[in-house]
Structure 1
Amino acid sequence: MNELEYKNFYERVGKLNGWDFSKVKCISEGVKWSFYYEVTQRCRKSDLLLDIGTGGGEALLSIAGSALLLVGIDDSVGMIQTANANLYKSKKSNVRFLQMNADKIDFPENFFSIVSNRHCPFNTNEAARVLEQNGFFLTQQVSEDDKFNIKQVFGRGQSSGLRDGTLKNKFISELNESGFSDIQSFEFDAKEYYKTYEDLVFLLKHTPIIPNFGKSDDDFALLDKFIEENRTSKGIMTNSKRFMIIARK
Structure 2
Amino acid sequence: MNELEYKHFYDRVGKLNGWDFSKVKCVAEGVLWDFYHEVSRRCRKSDFLLDIGTGGGEQLLSITEAALLLVGIDQSAGMIETANDNLAKARKDNVRMLQMDAERIDFPRGFFNVVSCRHSPFSASEAAKVLTEDGLFLTQQVSEDDKINLAQAFGRRQADDGANDGTLKNKYISELQEAGFRDIQSYDYDAVEYYETYEDLIFLLKHTPIIPGFGQDENDFAVLEQFIRDNQTSKGIRTNAKRFMIIARK
* Structures share fold, TM-score greater than 0.5: yes
Aligned equivalent of 2:79: 79
- In structure 2, the gaps of 5 or more residues are none
Which residue identity does 1:84 align to in structure 2? N
Aligned equivalent of 1:245: 246
Aligned equivalent of 1:98: 98
Q: How does 1:201-240 map to 2 (within 5 A)?
A: 201-240=202-241
In 2, Cα distance between the equivalents of 1:40 and 1:133?
A: 19
- Say what the alpha-carbon RMSD is for the aligned residues: 0.4
Aligned equivalent of 1:144: 144
C-alpha deviations, 1:104-126, integer Å up to 9, x for none?
10100000000000001000000
Aligned equivalent of 1:5: 5
Which residue identity does 1:123 align to in structure 2? S
* 1:41 Cα deviation after fit: 1.3
- Using the TM superposition, name which of 158-167 and 60-69 deviates more: 158-167
Which residue identity does 2:11 align to in structure 1? E
- In structure 1, the gaps of 5 or more residues are none
Aligned equivalent of 1:188: 189
Which residue identity does 1:115 align to in structure 2? V
* 1:146 Cα deviation after fit: 0.1
Which residue identity does 1:95 align to in structure 2? V
4+ runs of 1 displaced by more than 6 Å? none
Q: How does 1:21-100 map to 2 (within 5 A)?
A: 21-100=21-100
C-alpha deviations, 1:32-78, integer Å up to 9, x for none?
00000000111000000000000000000000000000000000000
In 2, Cα distance between the equivalents of 1:12 and 1:222?
A: 25
SS in 2 for 1:65: coil
Aligned equivalent of 1:175: 176
User: Matched residues, percent identical?
Assistant: 71
TM-score of the aligned structures, taking structure 2 as reference length:
0.99
In 2, Cα distance between the equivalents of 1:224 and 1:85?
A: 36
In 2, Cα distance between the equivalents of 1:164 and 1:221?
A: 28
In 2, Cα distance between the equivalents of 1:174 and 1:70?
A: 25
Which residue identity does 2:14 align to in structure 1? G
In 2, Cα distance between the equivalents of 1:2 and 1:182?
A: 33
The aligned length equals 249
In 2, Cα distance between the equivalents of 1:215 and 1:124?
A: 35
* 1:159 Cα deviation after fit: 1.2
TM-score of the aligned structures, taking structure 1 as reference length:
1.00
In 1, Cα distance between the equivalents of 2:88 and 2:41?
A: 26
In 1, Cα distance between the equivalents of 2:220 and 2:2?
A: 19
In 2, Cα distance between the equivalents of 1:101 and 1:94?
A: 21
* 1:203 Cα deviation after fit: 0.1
